[in-house]
Each structure stands twice: as C-alpha cells, then as structure tokens.
Structure 1
Amino acid sequence: MLNSLIVVFRESLEAMLVVGVLLAWIARQPDPGGLRRSLWAGVAAGLGLALALGFATFAAQSQLAGDALEKFQVGMVLFAAALIVQMVLWMHRHGRHMRRELETRAGHAAGALGLGAVTALAVAREGAETVVFLYGLGLEGNGGLLAGAFAGFVLAAATAWLVARGARFLSYRALFSASEILLLIIASALLAAGVDRMIGLEWLPPLLDPVWDSSSLLDDSSGVGRLLADFTGYRARPSASLLLAYGSFWCFSLWRLGRATPAPANGKV
C-alpha cells in the first residue's frame, strides 16, 4: 500500500501541477475561455490514453501463458524500475524549470488545439507511467494496491491545492527531493523482485546463495521484515547476484543524481 501511495502521489502531483501552470498561463491570455476548454479536453484525452495503455497491458497478459507470461511479467517489473529511475533523473534536472518550459510550449502551440495536445501529452505521460508502476507493484503482491493508489491521489490533490494557495510552509522542491529518494527505494525493490524471478527461472545464476542468513533477526516473510522486503527489497537470505544488482543500482542512481544536480536557486515553486 505504501509503495502505490508514494507512486500515485508523485505522478498525480506532477500532472496536477502541469495543469495548474497551464491554467495560470491561460488566465493571462486575452481570450482564456476557449483555451481553458481545450485544456480540459486535453486532460480528458490524456487520461483516456493512459487508460487505453492499462487495458492493452492487461489484454496482452491475458493472451500469454507459461514461459511467455513469465518473460512478460519479469520484463514489466524491470521496465517499471527503469522507468522510475528515468523519471526521477529527468525531474531532478528539469523540475525547477518546469513552469517556464510549459509556458514556452503553450506559447508556441497553435491555438486551442495545440494547447490541448500539449496538455494531453503531459497528462498521458504521467498516467502511462502510473499504469506501468502499479502493474509492476501488483505483480509483486503488494497488498492494498488500490487503497494506496486512492490515498496517493487524494494526498496529491490536497498538496496541489496547498501549492496553488501559496502555502508558506510547503516547499515544492523539498517535497520532490524527498519523493526522489522514496521512489528510488521503490525502484530498487522492483529490481530485487525482478532479479529473484530471473534466478528462480534459471535465467540468472545466483553465484552464491545465500550470502548470509538474517532470518532469525528479521524474517522477510512476515511483519516488519515483509514490509521492508516490499518497500526496499530487503532479503533475509540474499544471493550474491541480488547484492551485486542492488549495489550497482544504487551506485549508478546516486552517481547520475550527482551529475544531474541543478544549480541552487532560492525561493519556492
């Protein structure tokens, strides 16, 4: 539930902030009425595209069985992990300029139709990412997936409202910085699940299994240990291949975050 809450919160908040930025830009235009209707049509189109991706994903799974289904599911888990990393890195570099970039795109759009297309693509991207992330989390049997997703959406709506109201105590950058680390932790858990699946299918050698056994201290099959396993990828009896993949993931992610660090800026978004 916690994983889906964080994922949906982050993705929904991004989409809502995009819409908020464009609405603020529209309000400054000479004839905002038609542009505003086009924007909401773009939002509806973007949501429709994301739902279509969701239906296509489940339809594809329903047509597969045996090894083909296993390959599809492993691929989706690893793709979800990679997509989270890509999204975090992109927002880390470009997030502080998001308002200016959106307003520039809106200004260059060919009237109401162009603005609707810009909105649809932005919303569809966030929605499509959410579909992939939730599908990957669902494959790992995370309980309370829908409840967490709903809570994340409600929390994102409340946060976007506070940002729009100019809440002094709410820093957009600090909020997204914290969510970056949480999302990378979720991505590492998805990677661990994918590596476990590949070892179980004998697509990847375990090298040494297990490297240690901490189940007597913290079992990963129940209680706090299970929560850590779902959220962080903790394993009480990890294989050497899993540890290598886990270590490589964090070295790469932190290295790329360091390289993508934007120049410091004062103020809140």
Structure 2
Amino acid sequence: MTAPALAFERVHFSYGADPILDGIDLEVLAGHVTALMGPSGCGKSTLLAIGAGLLEPASGRVLRTGRRTAIVFQDPRLLPWRTALANVAFALKADRLASAERRDRAMAALASVGLRGDDVRKYPRQLSGGMRQRVALARALVIEPDLLLLDEPFGALDRPLARQMQSLARDHVDRRRAAALVVTHDPREAADIAEHVAVLSPAPARVTSQRALPGHVASRTEAERAAAAGALTGDAERSPGADP
C-alpha cells in the first residue's frame, strides 16, 4: 500500500475569530498528484501553507515523511534584485555546492521550463508574468523536492504552456516518486495532472468529497479526461454552499 508523504489529521485553523479550516483529514500519497478544489476563499491556500510548515494549525496534526518540500505560489515571489538565474541558484545555497555546480543546475532547471539565453540574465521586472511563473517553478524543481505544493501556479500561462509546465511537475513526481498537492479551480486541469481530487466546502472548510481518477495521467485518454472533468464539476457544484 502506498504511504502518504503528507497527511492532515483533524486540522483546524482560524484567522483571529474567523474559522477557516474545520477538521481537515487528507492524505497526499507518494508517487501521486492530489488536486485540491473548492470555492474561492475556502482555505485552499491556507491548507497548502500549513502543509509547507509556513503556518501552524490551531489543532490537529500534519505529518510529512519527505526530506525536502518546495512550494510555488500564485505570485512568483522572486527576489527583485536577482536575475532569473540567480533566483533559481539561490534555492541551492543550503546544499553547499560549488558556485559552478549551482549555476549549471539552475541553468538546466530554467532550460526545462523554456528559458534560455538572455532571458536567464534578466531581472523579474524585465520578464513577463508567465516567464516569472516559469522561473518560480524552476526554482522549486531545482532542489529535487520530495513534496511539491502548487498554488494555482499555471494561471498566468496560456493553455499549451500550462500543459507543458504541468507535464514537468508530473514528470518530477513520477521520476522521484515524490508527492504533489495542487490547488486549482479548473476541473480540466485536475483531470490533466492528478490521480486524486479532494473538494473543500466554503469556509470553515471541510473535505466534502474525494475521488480517485481513472488510470495514470500519461495513459488517460481525452475522453477519460473530459469525463473526469465533468464529474469533478458535479462534485464542486454539490459541495454545500458552493458558488453557483
């Protein structure tokens, strides 16, 4: 049986007097991608931040079995005083690698997301929104994480490029037997990248449904993807209090 790389057990969280998460139970399995869906403001990003260890739950437990966690936010959060190459290389600083090795690994990560040549020496202000998001993904993947947390990172990309970036994240999960938790509003994106989907209710959020999608993503036919997306749309619409 596949072990969870990340598990939330009865996790509660509040911002001040406002309850956000109400007893979340969810497992993210090694070698799998889990998509997290739900209405805007329901606490999906908060749950991701708790999974990364950036926030502490008010109660409940978070279990992580991996050694390295990387997170990609909706906002790329690049260091504005560093070039694209330096932003990615900086993620490797804790590894105490020689500067040439850090640079080579950063260049390879940037090339994998389609950034080469002069673009890698540009500062964030000189890059388009989509290019900045690709730098953020390269920065996450360059450390070879065991757990990858993605907070709608493909929204600034057109669909063909978004599919390419999804494939990169998917390939990383398959190659390293890593785990990934992906926040998305798009049922089709969930069907394109994930094996498992959890739907949250409006805040204070609970898990209202969990669904295993058919087969591995790489072998899933277009018909199966469309059917899965339709089923996920129905799950979201049936979530208590979901947006119309």
TM-score range, shorter chain: under 0.3
Larger Rg: 1
Structure (1/2) with the larger helix percentage = 1
User: TM-score if structure 2 supplies the norm length?
Assistant: 0.27
